[in-house]
Chains A and B, each alone.
Chain A
Amino acid sequence: MSRPTPTATRGEIGLLSGITVLAAIAFTPLFDSIEIAGVALIAWLLWFTMIAAPVGGLILALRSKGD
C-alpha cells in the first residue's frame, strides 16, 4: 500500500505565506519612493522580516513537541 506524503501544519503554511507576502511588498517598485528616517522602505521591511521570520519559526518549533 502506498504511504502518505508528509504534510505541513497550518502554522507552517501561514509562516511561509507571511514571509512571501512581506518579501513581495518589499520588492514591489510601487513603494520605492517611501522613506522612513531617510532610509527606503525596502530596507526597513527586509530588516523587519529578518527578525520576524525567526521569531515566528521559533514559536512554531517550540510548539511542535506533539506533532
Chain B
Amino acid sequence: MTLMIVLGYFLVLIAIGMVAYRRVRNSTDEFFVAGRSLGTFVNSWAFIASLASGGSVMASVGSALALGFPFAAALVAGAPVGFVVASVLVARPLRKLGKYTVPDFFNSRFNSPMMRVVVPVLVVIASSAYIVSQLKGSAIVAGHLLGWDYQTALWVAGVVFVLYVSIGGFLSVTWNDIFQGILLFSCMVGLGVAAFSAMGDFPTAWNATLEAYPALTGAADAHSVWSYVGAFLTWATAISVLPHVIMRVYSARNVRSARVSLNTAMLLYGVMMLIVAIVLVPAAATLLPNADITDPDAIFLTLADRVFGPLGQGVLAAAVLAAIMSTTAGLLMACNSAIGHDLYRGILRPQAGQKEVIRVTQAATWVVGILCILLAINPPEFLIVLYTAAVALLASAFFAPMVLGIWWRRTTAAGAGSGMIGGAVLFGIAFAMDLPTSSEVLIGLPASFLLTVAVSLVTSSGRDDDVRDAWLATQEADETDEEAATDAEPTR
C-alpha cells in the first residue's frame, strides 16, 4: 500500500511537470518566474513547501528530544521571523525590480563585474550543499517506508525531482509546491491529532516526557548560548537572500500579494512547528520509550509507524517526501537559474535567445542534480546542521550588501563587494575552526555589515550614482497602479 501511494505520488509530480512544460518552453519569463502572475493562495502554499524541508519536518521531533526544546525552538523560530523580515526589508523592492534571481538584484543595484561571477557561484555552492542534505532525507524516508536500500531510494527520488524541474521550470515547481504544501500541512495536523489521541492523558504524558528527557527543559545546556543565537539569527537573516525564496517573490503578481503570502505561509508553518513541539515530542517520548535519540531523523517516522495504519503511513511518506522534494526542487531551480540565466546569458553569451537559455538551464538542472545525488551517497551526519551551515553562508555573504543596498543610498559597489567576499570568507574560516555549532554566522554577518559600511564610506566618490539612480527609478512605480493592472490578470 505504502509503495503504491509513493509511486503514485511520483507519477503525479512528473505529470504536473509535463503539463507545465507546454506553458514554459518558449519563454524565460514563464520558465524562471511563472510569468509573474502567481496569486496569494498559490504562493502561500508554495512558500510553506519551499521552507518546510527534511530537516524542519523529519528531524524536528528527534532534534528536540536530543538537543532540548530551547535549541529546537531557536532553530525553527528563526525562519518564520526571517520571512517577516523579508516581507518588510526586501519583498517590495525586489518585486518592483521585476527580475528573476538574487544575482539580478546585485547587477541592477551595483553593476559590478566581480559580483556577476561571485554571486551566482555562491548561490550554486550553497544551494548544492542544501540539496545534498535534502536528498539524504528523501533517501532515508523512502528507505524506511518502502524497504529500499539507501542508494536505490536516493536515485529514484533524485531523478524524479530533477525530471520535473528540468521539464517544467518554475511553473512546475510551483504547481507541485501547492500540492506538496497542502499535503504536508494536512498530514502534520493529522499526525498531531492521531498522536494526541494515542498518547492518552496529555498532562501526564507531558510530565513523563520532561522526566524522561531532562535535556528538553534546560536553557543553553545542549550547546553554547552562541549556538542558540546563531541558529536563530541564521534563519532570521538568510530567508531574505535565499535564492528560491527570492524567485518566488519575483513570481508574485504584485508587491502586496508577495508580502501577504510570505506572512500567511509562516503563520501556517509556525502552527506546524507548535504541533511538533507541544504534541509530537511528548507523543514520541510516551509511545516510543526506547527511541534511539542518536538517530534523531528516524524518530519522526517511527512515531508515524506507531500511530498510523498502512494507508496513513503511505500518505505521510508522501508528505515527508513532499517536504523534502519541494525544497530541493526550489533550490535546484535556483541553481539552474544561476547557471543558465546569470552565468550563461549574463556573462558567456548575452546574445543568447530565450529558447537557448531554457535549454542550457535544463541541461544545468541535470548536471547539478546528478552531482548532488553522487555527493549524497556518502552524506554528512546530522541533516539539520548541514543545511543550516549552507544558508548561514548565504546570510553572511548577501544579507548586509542587499539590505544596505536597498535602504542606504551611500552603499557602493566596492562596499557591497567587500561585505560579500569578507562575510563569505570569514564565515568559511569560522566554520573550519572549532566554534560552537551554528555560531559561525555571528562572525560572518557583522563583519559583512562592517565591511560594507566602511568601504562604502571610503569609496563614496559619486562614481556609482548613475547606477544607483537607475535602480531607484525601478522603485518609483505606483503600487496601486500596479495592483489595478495585475488584478485583471488571471491567477494561476
B210 partner residues in chain A, CB cutoff 8 A: 38-39
Contact (Cβ within 8 A) A27 B229: yes
Least CB distance, A43 to chain B, in whole angstroms: 4
Given A40-B219, A50-B76, A50-B270 in contact, is the A5-B256 Cβ separation under 8 Å? no
A32 partner residues in chain B, CB cutoff 8 A: 219-220
- Check B32 for interface membership: any CB of A closer than 8 A: no
Expressed in whole angstroms, the Cα–Cα distance for A24 and B92 within the complex equals 27
Contact (Cβ within 8 A) B69 A39: yes
Contact (Cβ within 8 A) B475 A6: yes
Other-chain residue from A6, A23, A39, A65 in contact with B93 (beta carbon distance below 8 A): A6
Contact (Cβ within 8 A) A27 B232: yes
Least CB distance, A15 to chain B, in whole angstroms: 7
B93 partner residues in chain A, CB cutoff 8 A: 6
Least CB distance, B95 to chain A, in whole angstroms: 12
Contact (Cβ within 8 A) A53 B228: no
Expressed in whole angstroms, the Cα–Cα distance for A54 and B185 within the complex equals 17
Contact (Cβ within 8 A) B84 A54: yes
Expressed in whole angstroms, the Cα–Cα distance for A23 and B274 within the complex equals 18
Expressed in whole angstroms, the Cα–Cα distance for A3 and B467 within the complex equals 11
Given A15-B84, A32-B219, A32-B220 in contact, is the A3-B77 Cβ separation under 8 Å? no
A49 partner residues in chain B, CB cutoff 8 A: 77, 80-81
Contact (Cβ within 8 A) A46 B475: no
- Check B479 for interface membership: any CB of A closer than 8 A: yes
Q: Which of B1-9, B133-141, B377-385, B404-412 contacts A (4 or more CB under 8 A)?
A: B404-412
Contact (Cβ within 8 A) B73 A64: no
Expressed in whole angstroms, the Cα–Cα distance for A43 and B262 within the complex equals 23
Expressed in whole angstroms, the Cα–Cα distance for A36 and B92 within the complex equals 39
Expressed in whole angstroms, the Cα–Cα distance for A55 and B218 within the complex equals 28
A41 partner residues in chain B, CB cutoff 8 A: 219
Least CB distance, A8 to chain B, in whole angstroms: 7
- Check B251 for interface membership: any CB of A closer than 8 A: no
Contact (Cβ within 8 A) B406 A6: yes
CB-contacts of B350-378 with A (<8 A)? none
Given A39-B217, A57-B262 in contact, is the A23-B84 Cβ separation under 8 Å? no
Expressed in whole angstroms, the Cα–Cα distance for A66 and B50 within the complex equals 29
Interface string of B219-242 (1 = CB under 8 A from A): 110000100110010001000000
Least CB distance, A45 to chain B, in whole angstroms: 8
Interface string of B48-89 (1 = CB under 8 A from A): 000000000000000000000110111011001101110111
Contact (Cβ within 8 A) A4 B69: no
Given A4-B472, A47-B73, A64-B256 in contact, is the A29-B225 Cβ separation under 8 Å? yes
Other-chain residue from B232, B263, B475 in contact with A54 (beta carbon distance below 8 A): B263
Residue of A nearest to B475 (CB): A6
Expressed in whole angstroms, the Cα–Cα distance for A30 and B162 within the complex equals 49
Contact (Cβ within 8 A) B88 A16: yes
Expressed in whole angstroms, the Cα–Cα distance for A21 and B472 within the complex equals 31
- Check A19 for interface membership: any CB of B closer than 8 A: yes
A35 partner residues in chain B, CB cutoff 8 A: 217
- Check B454 for interface membership: any CB of A closer than 8 A: no
Least CB distance, B204 to chain A, in whole angstroms: 13
A46 partner residues in chain B, CB cutoff 8 A: 70, 73-74, 77, 232
- Check B305 for interface membership: any CB of A closer than 8 A: no
Other than the given A3-B469, A5-B472, A42-B228, 9 more pairs (CB < 8 A) read: A3-B472, A5-B407, A43-B69, A50-B274, A55-B267, A57-B259, A58-B267, A61-B260, A64-B255
7 contacts between A and B (CB under 8 A): A3-B476, A6-B92, A40-B70, A51-B270, A58-B264, A61-B260, A65-B480
| Interface residues in chain B, defined as those with a beta carbon under 8 Å from any beta carbon in chain A | 69-70, 72-74, 76-77, 80-81, 83-85, 87-89, 92-93, 206-207, 210, 216-220, 225, 228-229, 232, 236, 255-256, 259-260, 262-264, 266-267, 270-271, 273-274, 277, 406-409, 465, 469, 472-473, 475-476, 479-480, 483
| Interface residues in chain A, defined as those with a beta carbon under 8 Å from any beta carbon in chain B | 2-6, 8, 12, 15-16, 19, 23, 27, 29, 31-32, 35, 37-43, 46-47, 49-51, 53-58, 60-62, 64-67
